[in-house]
Structure 1
Amino acid sequence: MQETRFKDSTNGKTNAYSKAGYGLAICHHGEILQGKFYDRDGTLRRGLVTLPCDRYQAGAHFVPDGSGMLTVEPAFKKKALRAVRVTLDHLKELKVGGRLIVDSDIPEGWGLGSSTGDVVAAIMAVADALEIELTEEHVGALAVESETAADSIMFIDRAVLFAQRDGLVIEDFGGQFPSFEVLGFNTEPNSNGVDTLAFEPANYNMHEIDRFVKLRDIMRQAVQLQDAKLLGQVATESSEINQFYLPKLRFDDMQKLAQEIDSVGLQMAHSGTVGGFIFDPGTALLDEKMAEASAKLIEWGFEITCRFQVGESKK
């Protein structure tokens, strides 16, 4: 690729960039935990623990130039374009222009983080093109500034409680997720999904906030002990609380089915239509039980999205 040269906007030096930048982001499959939590200063913040899923991905290429003009392909990826502007602004590269190309297979409206995938990939592509390293925390803050609310898919190997509207980590649980498998499904495959920003955030009461304190403690234990059953407990109870604010079809039936197939937990997207049965990888006859669950879900009119693994057992 021909080398592009332009003036640095802060110190007048001429910089050279000889490559396009590339960024890649995975999707997620809803949340393990979502609610309101106290940070270390006692401030109550909305937060979530995202369920990472690598079955769908968003990729972005950024080709910088000195024009000061930015374009994106396809043109409707406006949040990704805003992410480029926000990132360049924070990097003090105000005169940098360029072309962003986004390619994603993440379905929209299901609660899989399609827009966050675009945004995170774009941020990483800009940083790659300018040969600047950004921390996961920095990427998270930029993503929230770019799209108001963002999932924590930028934290690759860390389980964190992330303030999705404030762009900061409320708690780092000190490790990776325990190993588990998920059978994912869409409860409303023929709907238009949920517009996350148009969806009014849940107005949790103090009883529910107290429950979130306990679930946060259990989530911490799940990571520290690498215990999929504890993680499943957190997901189920969080889904029960949030069912009041965004009801899912046949929720009671899903809970009963979870017990019948020896699932350790039921997780739901708290601003989407997907959900999943969580399994301990060591579950006896796991393939047969997933097949049984799939048949029942299809009978209900649901659609299987994917089967995927999380944690060190991931193949």
Structure 2
Amino acid sequence: MNLALSQGTVLGYCSCHHGEILQGVFRDSDGRLCRGLTTLPVFGPGVYAEFTPVPGTDPEELSVHPRTKTKAATAAVLAGAECRRRGRRGSCGGRIRLTSTVPLGLGMGSSTSDVIATVRAVAAGSGVSLPWNTIAAIAVRSEGASDPLMLDDHALLFAQRQGRVLERFGKALPGVIVVGCVTGGGGTVDTLRVGSGAEREADVRAFQRLRGMLGRAVSESDVALLGRVSTESARHNQRFLPKEELGALEEIAGEVGAAGVQVAHSGNVAGLLFEPDAPGLRGRLRECVRALNRRGIPFSHLFRNYPVPEGRETWTSTSRTRSAARTWCGSPTGSFAFDSRR
């Protein structure tokens, strides 16, 4: 999404995700082994990149603030070069300022959000619309691996180290309500340092099976099957980024009737998935939060994985006590609320 502001300034935007539903090693259409993932979208937190052109400057003079956003700075240069390659000879340099509500290092795609928002802003400033695969290629060159946040319509299996789609599942993921939490004490994770292990044939077969199950879950809008996929994927990835809380999260899921457990395979966010139309949902959500508190797992926020039409209810917590976890959602309004202390 790109927005025009005054005096030639434009905005690029990118949302984030809440970790993965599935991540592993798969075979592509040619039978080659390839690492891939399917992320769980989040609506709300994201990154805005404000690009202000400076007429008369060298097109390669693109400054990014905060200066710590080095991946976004690399992406800005690559995006500018791509725009010039497409014939925008009159482009100039400029300033890019990033504003983010995505936590860093928790596995929510913060760096990819920075990169994509930056690319979109630079492209908009040059009057160019870059296709998703070009944005993906720039993101991979800037980061070494990229989440599929440049593609936000249908569920898909994405090769994060190559920036290509392995499979499109035809529809969005089944709608779920997610009770989010933070594992590992909320510590940050260097995602590129997370080991992925050797491609054992047994693992490949297991992930291929989960891939097929995910396809059925999407086509049939089956939340229960989606929960099975995400839980099994979390178990398989324990040997790469172990989460001491996974056993407790699975116990809680069984106690409160959640469809399954979902984790960031290269971060510390996690969640329990619920069918939006499940009987007694509000009571189950309250009990889920209480169960997390009893086990010392910080509850972070409650959210949907699909957009809510304007004027419809929004899910939030009205607990008077602050969560021990960092809360990254704003203060949404709506008709539904619950007090996790009850």
- 1:168-199 CA-to-partner distances (Å, cap 9, x unmatched) read 111111121121111111012352x1101122
- 1:190-240 CA-to-partner distances (Å, cap 9, x unmatched) read 52x110112222334211110111111111111111221221111011011
Distance 1:274 1:267 in 2: 9
| 2:185 counterpart SS class | coil
- 1:259-314 CA-to-partner distances (Å, cap 9, x unmatched) read 11111111111010111101111111212211111122123232222211124767
Distance 1:154 1:249 in 2: 32
- 1:93-152 CA-to-partner distances (Å, cap 9, x unmatched) read 687311110000111111111111111111111122122222333322221121111111
| 1:189 counterpart SS class | helix
1:154 matched to which residue of 2?
Answer: 150
2:254 matched to which residue of 1?
Answer: 259
- TM-score, length of structure 2 as denominator length: 0.82
1:21–1:129 Cα contact (<8 Å) kept? yes
Where do 5+ consecutive residues of structure 2 fail to align? 1-5, 313-342
Q: CA deviation at 1:18?
A: 6.3
Q: Note if 1:145 corresponds to 2:154.
A: no
Distance 2:31 2:135 in 1: 24
1:289–1:212 distance in 2 versus 1, CA, 3 Å: same
| 2:184 counterpart SS class | coil
Distance 1:203 1:274 in 2: 25
1:122 matched to which residue of 2?
Answer: 118
| 2:192 counterpart SS class | coil
Q: Note if 1:28 corresponds to 2:17.
A: yes
Aligned partner of 1:102 among 86, 92, 98: 98
Q: Note if 1:83 corresponds to 2:72.
A: no
Distance 1:210 1:135 in 2: 33
Distance 2:199 2:234 in 1: 13
Distance 1:135 1:97 in 2: 22
Q: Note if 1:285 corresponds to 2:274.
A: no
| 1:107 counterpart SS class | coil
Distance 1:203 1:30 in 2: 22
Q: Note if 1:46 corresponds to 2:42.
A: no
1:179–1:313 Cα contact (<8 Å) kept? no
Q: What is the identity, as a one-letter code, of the residue corresponding to 1:46?
A: R
1:14 matched to which residue of 2?
Answer: none
Sequence identity percentage = 38
Instruction: Give the ranges of 4+ consecutive aligned residues of structure 1 lying more than 3 Å apart after TM superposition.
Output: 93-96, 311-315
| 2:291 counterpart SS class | helix
1:219 matched to which residue of 2?
Answer: 214
1:190–1:166 distance in 2 versus 1, CA, 3 Å: closer
Residue range with higher mean Cα deviation, 18-27 or 38-47:
18-27
Aligned partner of 2:57 among 33, 44, 67: 67
1:21–1:127 Cα contact (<8 Å) kept? no
| 1:197 counterpart SS class | helix
Distance 2:233 2:280 in 1: 27
1:201–1:96 distance in 2 versus 1, CA, 3 Å: farther
Number of aligned residue pairs: give it: 298
1:194 matched to which residue of 2?
Answer: 189
Q: What is the identity, as a one-letter code, of the residue corresponding to 2:24?
A: G
Distance 1:178 1:114 in 2: 24
2:42–2:306 Cα contact (<8 Å) kept? no
Distance 2:201 2:10 in 1: 46
Greater strand proportion: 1
Aligned partner of 1:37 among 26, 38, 46: 26
- TM-score, length of structure 1 as denominator length: 0.89
Q: What is the identity, as a one-letter code, of the residue corresponding to 2:176?
A: F
